[in-house]
Amino acid sequence: MPELPDVEGFRRFYNRHAAGQRVRAANGIDPTMLRTGTAQTFGRALKGRRLEGARRHGKLLICPAGGPTLVLHFGMTGMLAWCEGEARHRHDRLVLELSEGELRYRNMRKFGGIWLVDDDGLAELTGRLGPDWLELDRVQFERLIARRRLAIKGALMDQTLAAGLGNLTADESLFRARIDPRRPACALDSGERRRLYSSIRRVLDDSLPYGLVPAKPKWLTRARDERPGRCPRCGATLERTRIGGRTTAFCPREQH
Ligand SMILES: [Zn+2]
């Protein structure tokens, strides 16, 4: 599931392949993925526009197109593909025909969405989100979680507090900081908040070059899908629970 490191990877991909090119046509639009307008208005508004460099806010990929801005959210299974003459894929939900090839937004399970907005619409969309995680400093972070009673894992995934973390980055960071994901956010002392902040930053920094959360040898991400998964640090059997509707893995011996 695309989280901040994945979407950052999509941003680089977009800028490498699509930025600077003119849109000949927007085709293959799946209307159920559109969060604004219709396939017709969408196609008309993008045709002839030159795509600029994309930026990212949390899990949103923001692609200005010399007037309107295309915004993509990748949901659970979204990705970008660059194609030069290949047949359409049945999960392509938007195909931008550009001067040198096609940029395709592919999304099997169709969570997420596609927007085409003006500046006000973009401000409204990003205004629902907290600051992007790469822009968040430690003092801001501590202030954000200080009074929250929900489980710390849930607070980390709450995009209205700070945007970009998802299931893997949240679990990996709590594992690295040795904090039980079920504890109320407000119960963390200042040493734990500090440790958690630097763990999150390091998980993000280590993940960014890969464009995903890597399954490194000492990482929870590597062990979490095994049955029974064992803690890569101490060998204890990993525990699983659900927080905020998502499967949460942690080491019961070290994260308490
Ligand atoms: Zn352990």
pLDDT at 227: 87
Low-confidence ranges of the chain (pLDDT < 70): none
Single out the catalytic residue among 49, 59, 193, 224: 59
pLDDT at 228: 85
pLDDT at 256: 87
135 is a catalytic site residue: no
Is residue 117 a contact partner of residue 69, using CB atoms and an 8 Å limit?
Answer: yes
pLDDT at 58: 98
Sequence-distant (6+) residues with CB within 8 A of 182 are 151, 152, 153, 241, 243
246 is a catalytic site residue: yes
Tokens of 152: 């710390």
pLDDT tens column, 80-120:
999 999 999 999 999 999 999 999 999 999 999 999 999 99
Cα of 8 vs centre of ligand 1, distance in Å, is 30
3 is a catalytic site residue: yes
Tokens 């893995």 belong to 249
Cα of 228 vs centre of ligand 1, distance in Å, is 13
Cα of 172 vs centre of ligand 1, distance in Å, is 12
pLDDT at 238: 97
Taking the model in full, what pTM does it have?
Answer: 0.96
Tokens 């699983």 belong to 240
Cα of 244 vs centre of ligand 1, distance in Å, is 23
2 is a catalytic site residue: yes
Single out the catalytic residue among 138, 178, 182, 246: 246
Is residue 181 a contact partner of residue 200, using CB atoms and an 8 Å limit?
Answer: no
Write the Ramachandran bin of 175: left for phi over 0, alpha for psi from -120 to 50, otherwise beta.
Answer: alpha
Is residue 78 a contact partner of residue 72, using CB atoms and an 8 Å limit?
Answer: yes
Cα of 252 vs centre of ligand 1, distance in Å, is 7
